[in-house]
Structure 1
Amino acid sequence: MSGPTDNLAPSEPKLLVSLATYNEAGNIEPLIETIREFAPDCSILVIDDNSPDGTGKIADDLAAKDPRIHVLHRPGKLGLGTAMLEAIGYAVKNQYDYLLNLDADFSHPPRFIPALVAGMSDYDVMIGSRYIPGGGVEGGFNLKRKLMSSGINWYARLLLGLSSKDNSGAFRCYRVSKLAQIDLGKVRSRGYSFQEEILYWCKKVGCRIGETPILFENRRSGVSKINMKEARSALWILLRLGVSRVFG
């Protein structure tokens, strides 16, 4: 005899989309609206580092109208890596199935979200990749950005034993149950090297890592926060991780 739940369709994975923000007042509202087009049932977590331009206030106003939007306010600019650690902790605590992160400046087009989520049927981490067939960068990087990006990706593959092509991009989806297995107290990165380092720790807990092509686009508003100081810090942290990997 059939039970009352035999014909129920499987529930959709519980998805949290995280946005780390600093001075993104011109982007945050249209970005959230666009995310809703491609992930209508997701929750959205905005982690704002006390943006002087009022990004946090705009996020609060949006959250007041939509209970699926949550805002974490931090006292100052504490770094992308620490924002991602906050997002992971929030996702684990609230028992989400997937955590999907993208930049808050439209450089990661939300239209690629469905492909990232679909890939989770076979993988534990899905990377939105600029460097596999079908992926790319709108207008191309200038020479400085190209050297920084290609260099740090090669460096990460060499030192951390990663086989994925795009290890420095932040457009990714993670299986939260695997993130929960990582000792986050071991994560050293506080800035942009977090992207490479978290893949290293994901690999250590047995994550299957896949990639799907994306087009990285130019930001619509505001200015980039990437600088040479961050790049040098990332190289140093990855070197230390690589040495630890080799010598235990």
Structure 2
Amino acid sequence: MPRSAGEMLVVLPTYNERASLSAVVLGVQRYLPSAHILIIDDGSPDGTGIAADEIAARDARVEVHHRPGKLGLGTAYVHGFGAAIAGDYRFVVAMDADGSHLSEDLPALVAAARTGAGLVIGTRWIAGGRIINWPMYRRWISRGGTWFARAILRSRLHDLTSGFRVLEVDWLRRIDLDALDSQGYGFQVETAWRLERLGCPIAEVPITFVERVDGRSKMSLGIVLEAFANVMRWGLKSRRTHDSAG
């Protein structure tokens, strides 16, 4: 990837997303018709990888990378970001393959990136942002996680855990991707925070987030605990570095 470099690469990590994948790909192609799409499947037992290969066989804009098992969302994005850098794309889009991120929000996110933002975050917790069909406990986890991360990391961002993003590849080149160590949703916090610390211009664009209809959420207690522990570690390390520099 790519067969030929373009302006934009859309990265879709998948694990058991067969029911939603085709509709997500079609949605991306409707709103970003010139974009290339990279599907990264972690050996989905439901046949997602097979469905992805069928899509790619019909459309040269789509490519599939198969991994041997469930290696984590963070490592999938590192893989995809590496492909974007190697392919010399200008932008890389990160979004879920389960339909929770609406493709009709893509033009607004991409427009913000094209007008100067190195990172654009599709944000649920600002004016205009909405969540549909989420149970209250998921709202608490998301809002609480963002509040906690903002406080510990001294961040000004309103939705650090959002996975719907557009990143300028030149800014990605400034991050040591191999040093990113979050396997789950903490990866979203880590990348946004590192870019924020580098002085990257960041835009937060309101989105509508829809709870998935098909399949099961990947959220687990282990993922939440990993993110909590990593945020504490990053925050303490940042404070020690700041104090020693002062």
Same fold (TM over 0.5): yes
Q: Could you tell me which amino acid in structure 2 is paired with residue 29 of structure 1? A: S
Q: SS at 1:45's partner residue?
A: strand
Deviation digits for residues 87-133 of structure 1 (CA, Å, limit 9, x no counterpart): 11000000010001111111000000000000011311001110110
Give CA-to-partner distance per residue, 1:161-198, whole Å, 9 cap, x none.
Answer: 22110110100000001101111222121111000000
Offset from partner CA, 1:203-222 (integer Å, 9 cap, x none): 23321111111110121311
Show CA shifts across 1:18-67 (max 9, x none): 10100011111111111111100000010000000110111111111111
| Partner residue, 1:98 | 91
| Residue 58 of structure 2 is aligned to residue 62 of structure 1 | no
Relative to the length of structure 2, the TM-score reads 0.93
Report the 3-state secondary structure (helix = DSSP H, G, I; strand = E; otherwise coil) of the residue aligned with 1:27: helix
The corresponding residue for 1:3 is none
1:16 deviation in Å?
A: 0.6
Q: Percent identity?
A: 39
- CA–CA distance in structure 2, aligned partners of residues 88 and 168 of structure 1: 18
Residue 204 of structure 2 aligns with which residue?
211
1:112 to 60, 84, 105: 105
Q: Which protein has the larger Cα radius of gyration, Structure 1 or Structure 2?
A: 1
Structure 1: unaligned runs, 5 residues or longer: 1-12
Alignment: residue pair count? 235
1:161 partnered with 2:154: yes
Counterparts of 1:117-196 in structure 2 under 5 Å? 117-120=110-113, 121-139=115-133, 141-196=134-189
Secondary structure at 1:70 match in 2: strand
User: Which segments of structure 1 move beyond 2 Å, counting only runs of 4 or more?
Assistant: none
Determine the structure 1 residue equivalent to 2:3.
none
Aligned partners of 2:154, 2:35: CA distance in 1, in Å? 33
Letter in 2 for 1:111: E
Native 8 Å contact 1:164 1:210 kept in 2: no
Distance in 2 (alpha carbons) for counterparts of 1:234 and 1:160: 12
Contact 1:17 1:44 in 2 (8 A): yes
Question: Aligned partner of 1:136: which letter?
Answer: R
The Cα of 1:144 is off from its aligned counterpart by 1.7
After TM superposition, the score normalised by the length of structure 1 is 0.92
SS at match of 1:67: coil
Q: Within the alignment, does 1:198 sit opposite 2:196 as a pair?
A: no
Partner in structure 2 of residue 84 of structure 1:
77
1:220 corresponds to:
213
User: 3-state DSSP class of the match of 1:26?
Assistant: helix
Whole-Å separation in 1 of the counterparts to 2:152 and 2:178: 21
Name the CA distance, whole Å, in 2 between partners of 1:135 and 1:174: 20
